[in-house]
Amino acid sequence: MNLQFKGLPQKAVLKELESRLRKDFTFKSGKIIGSMCTSPHPIARRVYARYLDTNLGDSGLCPEVAELERETAQMIGSLLSNPEVCGHIVTGGTEANTLALWAAKRLSKKEHGEVIVPVSAHCSFDKAANMLGLKIVKVGLNNNFQVDVGAVEKALNPNTIAIVGVAGTTGLGVVDPIGELSKIALENNVYLHVDAAFGGFVLPFLRELSYNVPDFDFALPGVCSITVDPHKMGMAPIPAGGILFRNEAIRKTVAWKISYLAGGETEQATLVGTRSGASVIAVWALLKHLGVEGYKKIVRRCMRLTWKLVEEIKRIEGLDIVTEPTMNVVGLKSDVFDIHKVAYELRLRGWAISLFPSHIRIVVMPHVREKHIESFVEDLRKVAKKLGECKEREVLAISSV
Ligand code: 0PR
């Protein structure tokens, strides 16, 4: 498409957008049930729009926003057992994980070190390792879908620079035994990064709700950094990922001095240069507005609906869950039907689910209401019935040959 010479009136552009984007999925419809993002909280929307023109790439221009970022990191750090953390609101979990591996590489002073990650880790570690010239060593899981700690120990060698543990895996929301990884990391003097991109805004509140949540955060002395994304369960507008470093010395390893900026000499410790101050301010406002109590309420609701969904799935013949959920992520499997067929049928009925190699992922985010769960379950029942009938016909056809 060529750029037109003459621009259109605003009204015409807005009208075209309105009609062009009508068919896209919306959170409001409740049909997005496999996403780790949600509709941003109203206060975050307001604040984001109000402070759109702030740029933390040139933080000398907005030292007050930079101060809000420090406070934001500390507030999130206080949820993760360390209000003294240093960190940044970045573009997402991918940037946060990349920064963590970069810090590990800089601290190790090895150019081509190895990073041990569970097979359940997010693909951002593969991307990051590829960019940073690191070798990813993938280790298997135990029967609970957590990283196999014995396999981590076996994979360690003099080239290992870091271990990654996940607190809320992408596929199932499982939490790795981070306590054991912390011990291994300390004993072997390697960097430990925890990817709590999703779980970071769930686990502290599950603990408040009296769930049994083992230590996964800075309470463990081996943990050097944590990814924790406000644009997932934090209810923040995209982009808002979070990287928290245990201390300033670690953060400094990825900080670059920039001398020429309009606001004066400064440093950037993120991958991107120019970056939205509005993202930071929106997260700050959310944390201030919701507090522990507000997030706890959101997580409680998500978990109530998660358990409801799990109970309903268990009642449907041919369908089952992969494992009891740790958080508001449910793995749906079938030992009877091809899971790809189940996913196909659900998508035909308008459901935006995530499909993993052997299961469907459902994420009960804050935009998902009880009525959406009920209508999803109703469709699941219909899909199971339809696939069951197909199976019966196949069996009949085979037996009549
Ligand atoms: N770490 C974990 C544990 C993740 O699950 C994800 C992404 C990341 C890191 C990377 O985060 P960013 O995507 O912010 O860089 N988790 C979701 C996924 O890939 C992201 C997602 C979001 C998926 C919205 C679908 C969607 O509609 O499954």
Ligand 1 neighbour 190 (Cβ under 6 A): no
CA neighbor of 41 nearest in space, from 301, 283, 302, 364: 283
Ligand 1 nearest atom to the CA of residue 231, by list position: 14
Report the nearest-CA residue for atom 20 of ligand 1: 36
Report the nearest-CA residue for atom 9 of ligand 1: 93
pLDDT at 45: 98
pLDDT at 401: 66
Kindly calculate the radius of gyration of the chain based on its CA atoms and give it in whole angstroms.
23
pLDDT at 398: 79
Q: Which of 122, 164, 194, 279 to mutate to test the pocket of ligand 1 (most atoms within 8 A of CB)?
A: 122
CA neighbor of 225 nearest in space, from 117, 72, 82, 124: 82
What is the C-alpha to C-alpha distance for residues 29 and 13, in angstroms, rounded to an integer? Answer: 25
What is the C-alpha to C-alpha distance for residues 47 and 278, in angstroms, rounded to an integer? Answer: 7
Distance (angstroms) between ligand 1 centre and the Cα of 229 equals 9
Ligand 1 neighbour 278 (Cβ under 6 A): no
Q: Which of 31, 32, 33, 36 to mutate to test the pocket of ligand 1 (most atoms within 8 A of CB)?
A: 36
* Positions in the chain short of pLDDT 50: none
The two structure tokens encoding residue 373:
């769960």
pLDDT at 202: 98
pLDDT at 400: 75
Whose tokens are 């499982």? That residue is 174
Residues in a beta bridge with 117: 138
Ligand 1 neighbour 376 (Cβ under 6 A): no
What is the C-alpha to C-alpha distance for residues 120 and 38, in angstroms, rounded to an integer? Answer: 23
Ligand 1 nearest atom to the CA of residue 166, by list position: 3
Q: What Cα–Cα distance (Å) separates residue 192 from each residue in 105, 172, 181, 226, 380?
A: 12, 22, 8, 9, 40
pLDDT at 2: 96
Report the nearest-CA residue for atom 26 of ligand 1: 35
pLDDT at 121: 98
Ligand 1 neighbour 93 (Cβ under 6 A): yes
Count of CB atoms within 10 A of residue 385's CB?
Answer: 13
Distance (angstroms) between ligand 1 centre and the Cα of 38 equals 12
233 alpha-carbon distance from chain centroid: 8
The two structure tokens encoding residue 163:
């271990």
Distance (angstroms) between ligand 1 centre and the Cα of 234 equals 13
